[in-house]
Each structure stands twice: as C-alpha cells, then as structure tokens.
Amino acid sequence: MKAGATTKPREDYKLSRYACYLIVLAGDESKPVVALGKVYFAVQTRRQELADELALSTLPEDQKRLIYRSEMAIFNAKLAEAAQQVGVISPSDFSTFQDHGYMGLYGGLRENDIHRRKGLTSEKQKILDYMGSEELASNIFRAAQTDAKLRRENIRGKDQANQTHLEIGKIVRKAIVEAGGTMPENLPTPTKSIQELQREEQLEQRRQPSLFDEPATDDTPPAGDKS
C-alpha cells in the first residue's frame, strides 16, 4: 500500500423495485444497463396494463359502471380546470360548455334533452348516474380529449372552448359510427342509479365476515352444555 493511501469498506444496498425504477428512469440510457432497464420496465408496465384491461372486461356490468363513473368524475374535474383556465368561468358558462360536448356526442342533444330521453323526472337525477359502462366510456373519452386539446393548443375564450368541445364530441361520435357501435342516445338506460349500486355494494361489504372474527369450531360446546 502506498503511503497515504487508505481504503474504505464498501456497503451493499438492497433497493426496492420502485427505487430501481426511479434510478433507471433518471439514468443515462446511453449506458447499456440503463437502456436495458428502461426496456424491462416499459414491458412490465404494458403487461400490467393488459392484465388490468382483461380484468376489467370480465367484471359484471354494475362493477364496470361504478369504476367508469368514478373515472368520469376525475376527468370532468380536470376538464373543468382546463375550461376555467381558458375563460369558462361562471356556472352558466360551464353549463353551456358542457352542452356543446353533449351536442357533439349525442347528435345535437343538450344535457336536458338527454335527461328527458332517459325518462328522468327529477333535477337531482344526473344523467351520468344513469349511464351504462359503454356510454360512460364514450363520455370519458370525450372529456379526456377535450381537456388535452384545450391545454395543448392554447385555446383562449369561452367561444373557442365551446367549439372545441363540440368538435371533440363529433369526433367521438364519428368513431362510434365507424366502429359499428350504438349511438349513445340509443343505448339502454340502467334501471338503477350509481347511488343505488353504491349502497348495495356497501351493504354487501358489511355482510362479509371480518378477518378478525373467530370462526366456530367443532369443539364449541352446544348451548347449555357445561362439560
């Protein structure tokens, strides 16, 4: 050993899968090990996406409705944020903005028209709560694509925002036609609302036995037996 030279013990670290992912994501892909890691995580991500899609496709219709309705709420919140940023400010402005999206997707029908077509009689009954999974999926696509276009193309002013929403609705409707699908206004209206499904699901969960309940055993003496 040369004079003045010192050695330090090296420590080994065991990283979690997520930590490895973050390191690879931020790494220099010109290095073979980083490039290989990025390919690996890209493949694994796609495999998980396909597994999720397969699992969703096998769910009962009521479960699909609950999932899609939750997603619709998220996409509507993002769309409202994007619309506000471009000039859709007041509740009246946003109602008009939403109507333009529905008119594009539903062949000219506004929200109130769809409400009547579904046979809903109370203002408290929201049309999104009385859509099947297929109809909800179409509306999710409409909202997601409108949100993206408003942000991407730097739309300004509520008139341009309304026109953008109308155009996206028409594009989604055209895609349904080309795919040979049923127009959203002609899809059946579920008899149960989302709120009814949620209540039923909550009741079912309450009926499930707790993991902490002690199951009865054959050794439990019958009532009155003190032996």
Structure tokens at 97: 């903005």
Establish if 157 belongs to a structural domain: yes
Measuring CA to CA, how many Å separate 82 from each of 105, 218, 219? 19, 63, 64
Domain that holds residue 31: 16-58
Give the pLDDT score at 24. 78
Same domain, 47 and 151: no
- Give the residue with greater pLDDT, 55 vs 27: 27
> Contact at 8 Å (CB) between 56 and 67?
yes
Amino acid at the residue 150: L
| CB of 206 closer than 8 Å to CB of 140 | no
Measured between alpha carbons, how far is 211 from 199 in angstroms, rounded to an integer? 22
- 3-state DSSP assignment of residue 73: helix
pLDDT at 21: 77
Tens-digit pLDDT profile for residues 181-194 = 999 999 999 999 99
Q: What is the pTM of this model?
A: 0.68
CA distance 127 to 121: 11
State residue 18's pLDDT score. Answer: 77
User: Mean pLDDT over residues 71-89, rounded?
Assistant: 94
In a domain, 68, yes or no: yes
50 lies in the same domain as 65? no
The span from the CA of 197 to the CA of 201, in Å, is 6
As a whole number, the mean pLDDT across the chain is 85
5 occurs within a structural domain: no
How confident is the model at residue 216, as a pLDDT? 45
Whether residues 26 and 137 share a domain: the answer is: no
| Residue 219 within any structural domain of the chain | no
pLDDT for 4 equals 56
Confidence of residue 173 (pLDDT cuts 50, 70, 90): very high
pLDDT above 50 for 198: yes
Residues 169 and 190 in one domain: yes
Residues 122 and 32 in one domain: no
* Residue 147 lies inside a defined structural domain of this protein: yes
Q: Is residue 115 part of a domain?
A: yes
Q: Same domain for 66 and 26? A: no
> What is the number of structural domains in the chain?
2
Answer yes or no: do 82 and 165 share one domain.
yes
Residues 54 and 85 in one domain: no
What's the confidence (pLDDT) of residue 41?
Answer: 72
Residue 137 and residue 77 share a domain: yes
Confidence at residue 42, expressed as pLDDT on a 0 to 100 scale: 74
Q: Is 77 a member of any domain?
A: yes
What pLDDT, in 10s, does the model give residues 117-166?
Answer: 999 999 999 999 999 999 999 999 999 999 999 999 989 999 999 999 99
Reported as a single tens digit per residue, the pLDDT across 31-79 is: 777 777 777 777 777 667 666 666 667 788 999 999 999 999 999 999 9
Is the pLDDT at 218 greater than 60? The verdict is no
Would you report the helix, strand and coil content of the chain in percent, each value rounded to 5? 65, 0, 35
H or E element, residue 203: helix 194-207
Give yes or no for a contact between 113 and 44, defined as CB atoms under 8 angstroms apart: no
Count how many residues are written for the chain: 227
Report the alpha-carbon distance of residue 107 to residue 104 in Å, rounded. Answer: 6
Pair of tokens at residue 93: 């402005």
* pLDDT at residue 54, rounded to an integer: 63
Instruction: In whole angstroms, give the CA distance from residue 67 to residue 30.
Output: 41
* More confident of the two residues 27 and 111: 111
Vertex 102: Cα angle to 99 and 103 (nearest 5) = 85
